[in-house]
Structure 1
Amino acid sequence: MYSLTTLFRRGPGGSGVLASLGCLTASLLLAAMLLTAMPATPAHADSDPSGASIGTAADVVGATANAPTKDDLDKLAPTEPLASKLADVVGHNRISINMVWTLVCGFLVMFMQAGFALAETGFTRAKNAGHTMAMNMMIYGIGMLGYWICGFALQMGGVGGVAALGGGGALDSEFTVTLLGKTFGLFGTKGFFLSGTTYDAVIFSIFLFQMVFMDTTATIPTGSMAERWTFKSFVVYGFFISMFVYPLYANWVWGGGWLSALGSNFGLGHGTLDFAGSSVVHMTGGVAAAAGAIVLGPRIGKFNEDGTPNAMPGHHVPMAIAGCFILAFGWFGFNAGSTLAGSDLRIGVIATNTMLASAAGAMSSMCYMWARYGKPDISMAANGLLAGLVAITAPCAFVNSVSAVIIGLIAGILLCVSVLFVEQKLKIDDPVGAISVHGVNGAWGLISLGLFADGTYGDGANGVAGAVKGLFYGDASQLMAQIAGVVTNTVFVFVVMFVFFIILDKITPLRVKREHELEGLDQHEVAVMAYPEFTLTKTHR
Structure 2
Amino acid sequence: MTLETLSSGIDTVWVVLSAAMILLMEGGFALLEAGFVRYKNSVNIIMKVFADITIGTLLFYAIGFGLMYGSDAGGLVGITGFFLNGDLSHLDVPVSLETFWLFQAAFTIAVISIVSGAVAERINFRAYLLYIILMTAIIYPIGGHWAWGGGWLSKLGMQDFAGSAVIHALGGFSALAAAIIIGPRKGKYTPLGVSAIALRSNLPLASVGAFLLWFGWFGFNAGSTLSATDVRIGHIAIVTMLSAASGGAVTLLYTLFRFNRSDAPSVINGSLAGLVGITAGCAFVSDVAAIFIGAVSGLLMMAATNWLDRRQIDDPVGAFPVHAVSGMWGTIAVGLFATDGGLFMGGGWRLLGVQALGLTALVVWGFVMTWIGLKLIGKIVPVRSTEEEEDLGLDISYHGVMAAHQSHEFLDSEEHIRAFQDDPPNRNR
C-alpha RMSD over aligned residues: 1.8
Give the corresponding residue for 1:28: none
Per the alignment, in what secondary structure is the counterpart of residue 511 of structure 1? coil
Counterpart among 183, 191, 207 of residue 297 in structure 1: 183
1:432 matches 2:317: yes
Give the corresponding residue for 1:260: 154
Q: Distance in 2 between matches of 1:380 and 1:487?
A: 27
What residue identity is the alignment partner of 1:148? Y
What residue identity is the alignment partner of 1:472? F
CA contact (8 A) 2:23 2:106 kept: yes
Q: Distance in 1 between matches of 2:169 and 2:199?
A: 25
Q: What is the Cα deviation at residue 532 of structure 1?
A: 3.6
1:92 matches 2:2: no
Question: Residues 512 and 316 from structure 1, CA distance in 2 versus in 1: closer, same or farther, beyond 3 angstroms?
Answer: same
Structure 2, unpaired ranges of 5+: 408-412, 417-429
Give the corresponding residue for 1:206: 100
Per the alignment, in what secondary structure is the counterpart of residue 303 of structure 2? helix
Give the corresponding residue for 1:358: 244
Per the alignment, in what secondary structure is the counterpart of residue 220 of structure 1? helix
What residue identity is the alignment partner of 1:401? D
What residue identity is the alignment partner of 2:112? A
What residue identity is the alignment partner of 1:153? G
Give the corresponding residue for 1:388: 274
CA contact (8 A) 1:522 1:530 kept: yes
Give the corresponding residue for 1:370: 256
Q: Distance in 2 between matches of 1:492 and 1:359?
A: 31
Q: What is the Cα deviation at residue 195 of structure 1?
A: 2.8
Q: What is the Cα deviation at residue 513 of structure 1?
A: 1.1
Q: What is the Cα deviation at residue 307 of structure 1?
A: 1.2
1:195 matches 2:195: no
Q: What is the Cα deviation at residue 109 of structure 1?
A: 0.4
Counterpart among 374, 377, 399 of residue 504 in structure 1: 377
Q: Distance in 2 between matches of 1:350 and 1:196?
A: 34
Matched pairs, number: 406
TM-score of the pair, normalised by structure 2: 0.92
Q: What is the Cα deviation at residue 493 of structure 1?
A: 1.1
Give the corresponding residue for 2:328: 443
Give matches, 1:44-63, under 5 Å: 60=1
Deviations 1:53-89 (A, max 9, x none): xxxxxxx5xxxxxxxxxxxxxxxxxxxxxxxxxxxx1
Question: Residues 479 and 196 from structure 1, CA distance in 2 versus in 1: closer, same or farther, beyond 3 angstroms?
Answer: closer
Counterpart among 493, 496, 514 of residue 387 in structure 2: 514
Q: What is the Cα deviation at residue 196 of structure 1?
A: 4.7
Deviations 1:131-152 (A, max 9, x none): 1111112211111111111100
CA contact (8 A) 1:154 1:251 kept: yes
Which runs of structure 1 show a deviation greater than 3 angstroms over 4 or more consecutive aligned residues?
196-201, 537-540
Q: RCO (CA 8 Å, sep 6+): is it higher in 1 or 2?
A: 2
Question: Residues 538 and 295 from structure 1, CA distance in 2 versus in 1: closer, same or farther, beyond 3 angstroms?
Answer: farther
Counterpart among 481, 488, 513 of residue 361 in structure 2: 488
Give the corresponding residue for 1:146: 59
Deviations 1:190-225 (A, max 9, x none): 111123566998111111000100110011111010
Deviations 1:16-63 (A, max 9, x none): xxxxxxxxxxxxxxxxxxxxxxxxxxxxxxxxxxxxxxxxxxxx5xxx
Structure number with bigger Rg: 1
Deviations 1:395-437 (A, max 9, x none): 000111100000001011111111111112x210000000000
Give the corresponding residue for 1:175: 73
CA contact (8 A) 1:369 1:416 kept: no
CA contact (8 A) 2:34 2:45 kept: yes
Q: Percent identity?
A: 40
Q: What is the Cα deviation at residue 539 of structure 1?
A: 7.6
Q: Distance in 2 between matches of 1:261 and 1:368?
A: 41
Q: Distance in 1 between matches of 2:28 and 2:363?
A: 26
Q: Distance in 2 between matches of 1:223 and 1:100?
A: 32
What residue identity is the alignment partner of 2:328? A
Q: Distance in 2 between matches of 1:175 and 1:196?
A: 14
Q: Distance in 2 between matches of 1:532 and 1:501?
A: 35
Give the corresponding residue for 2:426: none
Per the alignment, in what secondary structure is the counterpart of residue 154 of structure 2? coil
Q: Distance in 2 between matches of 1:378 and 1:363?
A: 12
Deviations 1:238-259 (A, max 9, x none): 1110000000110000001001
Of the structure 1 ranges 131-140 and 287-296, higher mean CA displacement relative to structure 2 is found in: 131-140
Q: What is the Cα deviation at residue 99 of structure 1?
A: 1.8
Give the corresponding residue for 1:336: 222
Give the corresponding residue for 1:232: 126
Question: Residues 198 and 490 from structure 1, CA distance in 2 versus in 1: closer, same or farther, beyond 3 angstroms?
Answer: closer
CA contact (8 A) 1:274 1:280 kept: yes
Give the corresponding residue for 1:242: 136
CA contact (8 A) 2:251 2:270 kept: yes
Structure 1, unpaired ranges of 5+: 1-59, 61-88, 158-172, 177-184, 263-270, 456-468
Q: Distance in 1 between matches of 2:87 and 2:406?
A: 54
CA contact (8 A) 1:365 1:415 kept: no
Q: Distance in 1 between matches of 2:357 and 2:212?
A: 32
TM-score of the pair, normalised by structure 1: 0.73
Per the alignment, in what secondary structure is the counterpart of residue 507 of structure 1? coil
CA contact (8 A) 1:365 1:412 kept: yes
Counterpart among 342, 345, 348 of residue 473 in structure 1: 345
Counterpart among 94, 106, 111 of residue 217 in structure 1: 111
